[in-house]
Amino acid sequence: MNLTIENILFVGSILLFLSILAGKTSYRFGVPTLILFLGIGMLAGTDGLGIEFNNPTIAQFIGIVALNFILFSGGLDTNWKSIKPVLGQGIVLSTLGVLITAISLGVFFWAISEFTIFESLLLGAIVSSTDAAAVFSILRSKSLALKYKLRSTLELESGSNDPMAYVLTIAFLGLVTNPDMSFFSLLALFFQQMILGAALGLAFGWLSKLAINKINLGFEGLYPVLLISLMFITFSFTDFLGGNGFLAVYLCAVYLGNQDFIHKKTILKLYDGLAWLMQIVLFLTLGLLVNPNEVIPLAGIGLAASLFLIFVARPLGVFLSLIPFKMKNRRRWYISWVGLRGAVPIVFATYPLIAGIEKAPLIFNIVFFISVTSVLIQGTTLTKVADLLKVSLPEKVKPRSPLDTFLREGPKTAMVEIQIPENNPIVGKKILELGFPKNAIIAMLKRLDKYLTPNGTTEILGGDTLIVLADSYDNLKGVYEVLHLPIPDFHDED
């Protein structure tokens, strides 16, 4: 079956529906949803139902778009306070750790195959980073609670190490097509990508917050659309200037996720859904691109590479890069085990296909096999290995992310009316500029005998009466501090 304009929506919606149903039931059997999404795509492909899709350029485009949403969603859900203590660990894992993993796997594959050293290093580079889609999806869907800020380390690494893998992939692809490429040009490419990506990502994060809070769109539904446009501007402009767009998008989202901006709750919830949609679309697309009859003959060499990556290359990268940090070995082993490969390596494997190098189809199919076995072996055992290594944390003391807080916040049980004096310092300020406590909300605003439903852009005027709801009367103390008002005695209410 050829995909046409007439049937693509019907076929696509059926596959999407089946993927959602599969995802709902998959964890009852311990199978990660990502594998089922891939499986459904493969079943619908040429060797299954006969849908013909053999366009790596379109697959790469879909992959880049999907990764933007996945990384941006992960960045929005990253709490700066939780990653700040592990920032050093995350940086070395996402740079030096990726480099060691790529080189060690590349040398191993060169020794066991007929690939040249540069072709082998290209393969190692493609699968050198942990996959943000796989890590975010599996850690959060399993609600894994980990000690020692391990979850923050793992999510920071997976969200920030794709740029290093991308740089290595482009570099080794250049060496395959042009072996005379100089080492200094590769080093310059690395620093250019990383420095520009980081700087522009933070700059666009600041500009995005400014744009969202200053532009009065009038309709709540337009603000997520505005942020989507800003996300793609961040990626494409950074890429245009020679920086790493993936790093820029992730850092832009991390900055935004830790700031106050209009309709933040709506945007966080929307991006969480969009990230799931993009994961499904991405894995379905890559599943359609793969032909099982081409992968199966490579199972032997693919399994050897996968096992070496899981048990040797990844631990080597983790242990060597974390030498400067004091950390028990069981924590290093768990970080090594959560080295999930997923969609990102498969997307990167389309670059050799588009470049037209001789062994590109072999590389693509081997990378696909490595990704599938990684998710199957590691993704299904994360909880058991965490218990075995004694790094799991009781659910009741699990730290919450910004999205967790928004999605799980309970009903407010304390309510007060607070009148704002004419000479109060907050008069003339917008609500979003007040730094209002997270566990309290302004549910209603009374102004001149009229009740208004406020939002982040609502300005406070002298004489306004705020109807404030909070989790408890004790939490209202922070509200009075923000409003520059004396704190009353709430003893009787408690």
Closest CA to 126 of 349, 280, 310, 317: 349
- What number of other Cβ atoms are within 10 A of residue 184's Cβ? 8
Same domain, 317 and 219: yes
The last residue of one of the domains, among 367, 402, 437, is 402
**226-274 per-position pLDDT tens digit:** 999 999 999 999 999 999 898 899 899 999 988 888 878 788 888 888 8
pLDDT of residue 109: 95
Same domain, 357 and 475: no
Same domain, 366 and 422: no
The last residue of one of the domains, among 402, 434, 454, is 402
The residues near 459 (Cβ < 8 Å, ≥ 6 apart) are 428, 429, 430
Same domain, 371 and 462: no
User: Would residue 163 count as lying in a domain?
Assistant: yes
User: Would residue 154 count as lying in a domain?
Assistant: yes
Q: In the structure encoding, which two tokens stand for residue 79, read together?
A: 């709490």
Same domain, 193 and 45: yes
Q: Indicate the number of domains in the chain.
A: 2
pLDDT of residue 406: 45
User: Would residue 489 count as lying in a domain?
Assistant: no
User: Would residue 317 count as lying in a domain?
Assistant: yes
User: Would residue 80 count as lying in a domain?
Assistant: yes
User: What radius of gyration, in Å, describes the C-alpha atoms of the chain?
Assistant: 25
Are the beta carbons of 305 and 122 closer than 8 angstroms?
A: no
Q: Where residue 465 sits, what CATH number does that domain have?
A: 3.30.70.1450
Closest CA to 304 of 116, 120, 175: 120
HSE (side-chain half, CA atoms, 13 Å) at 296: 5
The last residue of one of the domains, among 347, 380, 402, is 402
pLDDT of residue 268: 85
Q: Is the dihedral of CA 272, 276, 278, 279 positive or negative?
A: positive
Same domain, 416 and 372: no
Same domain, 20 and 54: yes
User: Would residue 67 count as lying in a domain?
Assistant: yes
pLDDT of residue 309: 95
User: Would residue 25 count as lying in a domain?
Assistant: yes
Same domain, 208 and 130: yes
Same domain, 161 and 180: yes
Same domain, 178 and 301: yes
Same domain, 387 and 440: no
**Residue-level pLDDT, tens digit, the chain, 494 residues:** 555 555 667 766 777 777 667 655 554 544 556 677 777 777 776 666 667 777 888 888 988 998 899 889 888 888 788 788 888 998 899 999 999 999 999 999 999 999 999 999 999 999 998 877 667 666 665 556 676 677 788 878 887 888 888 889 988 998 898 887 777 887 888 889 889 999 999 999 999 998 888 887 877 788 888 999 999 999 999 999 999 898 899 899 999 988 888 878 788 888 888 887 887 888 788 878 888 788 888 889 999 999 999 999 999 999 999 999 888 898 899 889 988 887 788 889 999 999 889 899 999 999 988 988 888 888 778 878 888 888 876 554 554 555 455 444 445 567 788 888 888 888 888 887 787 777 778 888 888 878 887 877 788 888 888 888 887 777 778 888 888 888 887 654 54
**266-291 per-position pLDDT tens digit:** 888 888 888 878 878 887 888 788 88
Closest CA to 414 of 338, 494, 303, 492: 494
User: Would residue 453 count as lying in a domain?
Assistant: yes
The domain of 435 spans: 411-482
Q: Where residue 233 sits, what CATH number does that domain have?
A: 1.20.1530.20
Q: What is the DSSP string of 81-106?
A: HHHGGGHHHHHHIIIIIHHHHHHHHH
pLDDT of residue 310: 93
The residues near 258 (Cβ < 8 Å, ≥ 6 apart) are 78, 79, 80, 402
d(CA 223, CA 213): 10
d(CA 16, CA 283): 11
Same domain, 376 and 445: no
Edge to edge, the sheet with strand 414-419 lists 414-419, 465-470, 440-447, 450-452
